[in-house]
């Protein structure tokens, strides 16, 4: 099966290196490389966000996946030190219609001195090459998205060193798939650490804001109480989750994914957060076992993968969506208030709420496809959501959930 691709990349200022994308069903897209050279395999998913490509690339939940952006021009505002959700890009590859090689934004990072004393703005392509991430541009990304919507998510391969479709198809079909891998171990922290940065507080300025100017905003005057201690299991946590916990009045400690429940309970936290992360939740058996031991011991909040882990820990099932939810425009209804939130999402798996019987109640529902987006235990101080209340990127409609967790910890 083949598809029509663009004849050439839109940017003519760089030397073009041919790149080929082959899906496991045999579909072939030909384009041009704009990142590192080489070869990469991952599960192909599409993201409908128009901005936020740097946050998307650095979201640890994308480990094992190749991300396709549906918006046509990517890279317009360059790269900076602040808009990252982890220490490095985690996506296996990046697919765009057109990458901008000459970004323009007052926050764009500059490097080197090529043509002027002010240096040259770092492009998205520069960023990908710096971290060895392969990118392909010049293909019809919306046709690719339509194909994934119709036939479902599947493995794919991008190569700049082997452009033979038959050879690439053979390689990608030999891959076991991400459900055979524990991707959490590849993105979790290696040691426990404290987090003290609050959410961004932008102020009008003519100069760019540097990360050294960050301040902690615990909002103690708002919560009218001392800081509450929270331990965050890092299954691939995004920095903005940690920032929002600080903002809600928490003293935040992050621990590795394989930390035993007993070690966390010895820290005597006021609450526990199970973070987002990559891959099939059923592969993270140690996290499921830890969650079982923590249930009923401390208030717990789960986000995305953490939500799925909670579902499995309570004896439920998870299932895989046809093409997942990835983007910043998903309408979700809070069934308690009947308020509709526009949410940021990044997941391929869902919890089957019915499999949990009467243990939990459904709290949030996706208005696109009716899938489950949140649950609350009927007896224990436990709730979780499938989407990303911290956004980064995306709308801030769901940030109230961190305040709700704070109220749960306080016993309200």
Q: Name all domains of the chain by residue range, CATH numbers in brackets.
A: 18-179 (3.50.30.20), 184-409 (3.40.50.880)
pLDDT at 241: 97
Q: What is the pLDDT of residues 133-146, one digit of tens each?
A: 999 999 999 999 99
CA distance 269 to 272: 7
Kindly report the number of other CB atoms within 10 A of residue 43's CB atom: 23
5 pLDDT band (50/70/90 cuts)? very low
Q: What is the pLDDT of residues 330-348, one digit of tens each?
A: 999 999 999 999 999 999 9
pLDDT at 8: 34
Write b or e for each residue in 130-163: b if 16 or more Cβ atoms lie within 10 A of its Cβ, otherwise e: eeebbbbbbbbbeebbebbeeeebbbbbbbbeee
Tell me whether the omega of the peptide bond preceding residue 188 falls within 30 degrees of 0, making it cis.
no
Kindly report the number of other CB atoms within 10 A of residue 408's CB atom: 18
Q: Give me the chain's average pLDDT, please.
A: 89
- The better pLDDT of the pair 161, 108 is held by 161
Burial of 104 (0-12, 13-18, 19+ CB in 10 A): exposed
The answer to whether residue 219 scores a pLDDT higher than 80 is no
The answer to whether the CB of 175 falls within 8 A of the CB of 56 is no
Write b or e for each residue in 165-183: b if 16 or more Cβ atoms lie within 10 A of its Cβ, otherwise e: beebbeebeebeebeebbb
Please list, in sequence order, all residues whose beta carbon lies within 8 angstroms of the beta carbon of residue 304, skipping any fewer than 6 positions away: 61, 275, 276, 277, 346, 347, 385, 386, 387, 388
Considering the candidates 99, 100, 304, 350, report the single residue annotated as catalytic.
304
Phi–psi pair at 389, nearest 5 degrees: -65, -20
Helix boundaries (H) for 110-229: 124-130, 141-151, 165-173, 184-187, 220-223
pLDDT at 384: 98
Beta bridge partners of 340: 333
- Smallest CA-to-CA distance from 293 within 318, 259, 319 is with 259
1 pLDDT band (50/70/90 cuts)? very low
Kindly report the number of other CB atoms within 10 A of residue 100's CB atom: 20
Please list, in sequence order, all residues whose beta carbon lies within 8 angstroms of the beta carbon of residue 205, skipping any fewer than 6 positions away: none
CA distance 154 to 319: 15
The answer to whether residue 299 scores a pLDDT higher than 90 is yes
The answer to whether the CB of 267 falls within 8 A of the CB of 338 is no
Tokens 């770092």 sit on residue: 122
The answer to whether the CB of 279 falls within 8 A of the CB of 362 is no
Pull the structure tokens for residue 274: 């199970």
118 pLDDT band (50/70/90 cuts)? low
- pTM to 2 decimal places: 0.89
> What are the strands, taking DSSP E only, across 160-249?
193-195, 228-234
The percent of residues in the chain predicted with pLDDT above 70, rounded, is 88
Tell me whether the omega of the peptide bond preceding residue 393 falls within 30 degrees of 0, making it cis.
yes
For the segment 98-117, the average pLDDT, to the nearest whole number, is 74
- Does 262 participate in catalysis according to the annotation? no
pLDDT at 220: 37
Helix boundaries (H) for 93-162: 124-130, 141-151
Beta bridge partners of 231: 253, 272
- Does 390 participate in catalysis according to the annotation? yes
Considering the candidates 55, 109, 373, 390, report the single residue annotated as catalytic.
390
The answer to whether residue 161 scores a pLDDT higher than 50 is yes
- Among the ranges given (49-63, 113-127, 384-398), the one the predictor scored with the smallest mean pLDDT: 113-127
The answer to whether residue 199 scores a pLDDT higher than 60 is yes
For the segment 301-319, the average pLDDT, to the nearest whole number, is 98
Tokens 């401390």 sit on residue: 298
CA distance 125 to 89: 13
CA distance 385 to 364: 8
The percent of residues in the chain predicted with pLDDT above 90, rounded, is 82
- Among the ranges given (209-218, 298-307, 337-346), the one the predictor scored with the smallest mean pLDDT: 209-218
């Amino acid at each position: 099966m083949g598809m029509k691709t663009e004849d050439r990349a839109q940017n003519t200022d760089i030397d073009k290196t041919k790149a080929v994308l082959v899906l496991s069903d045999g579909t072939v897209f030909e384009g041009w490389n704009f990142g590192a050279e080489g070869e990469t395999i991952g599960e192909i998913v599409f993201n409908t966000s128009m901005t936020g490509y740097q946050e998307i690339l650095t979201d640890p939940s994308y480990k094992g996946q190749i991300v396709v952006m549906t918006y046509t021009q990517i890279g317009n505002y360059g790269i900076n030190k602040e808009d990252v959700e982890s220490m490095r890009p985690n996506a296996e590859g990046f697919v765009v219609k057109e990458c901008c090689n000459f970004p323009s934004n007052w926050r764009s990072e500059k490097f080197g001195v090529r043509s002027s004393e002010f240096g040259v703005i770092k492009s998205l392509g520069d960023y990908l090459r710096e971290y060895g991430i392969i990118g392909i541009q010049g293909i019809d990304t919306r046709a690719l998205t339509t194909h994934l919507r119709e036939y479902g998510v599947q493995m794919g391969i991008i190569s700049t060193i082997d452009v033979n479709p038959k050879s690439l198809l053979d390689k990608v079909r030999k891959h076991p798939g991400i459900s055979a891998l524990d991707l959490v171990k590849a993105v979790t922290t290696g040691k426990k650490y404290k987090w003290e940065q609050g959410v961004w507080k932008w102020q009008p300025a003519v100069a760019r804001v540097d990360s050294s100017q960050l301040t902690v905003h615990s909002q103690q005057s708002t919560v009218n109480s001392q800081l509450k201690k929270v331990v965050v299991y890092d299954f691939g946590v995004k920095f903005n989750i940690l920032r929002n916990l600080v903002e809600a009045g928490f003293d935040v400690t992050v621990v590795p994914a394989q930390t035993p429940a007993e070690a966390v309970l010895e820290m005597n936290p006021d609450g526990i957060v199970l973070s987002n992360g990559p891959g099939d939740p059923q592969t993270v058996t140690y996290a499921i076992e830890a969650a079982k031991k923590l249930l009923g011991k401390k208030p717990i909040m789960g986000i995305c993968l953490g939500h799925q882990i909670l579902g499995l820990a309570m004896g439920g099932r998870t299932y895989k969506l046809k093409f997942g939810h990835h983007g910043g425009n998903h309408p979700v209804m809070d069934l308690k208030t009947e308020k509709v939130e526009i949410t940021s999402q990044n997941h391929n798996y869902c919890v089957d709420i019915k499999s949990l019987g009467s243990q939990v109640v459904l709290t949030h529902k996706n208005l696109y496809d009716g899938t489950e987006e949140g649950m609350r235990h009927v007896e224990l101080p436990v709730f979780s959501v499938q989407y990303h209340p911290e956004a980064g990127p995306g709308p801030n409609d769901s940030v109230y959930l961190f305040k709700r967790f704070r109220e749960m910890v306080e016993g309200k």
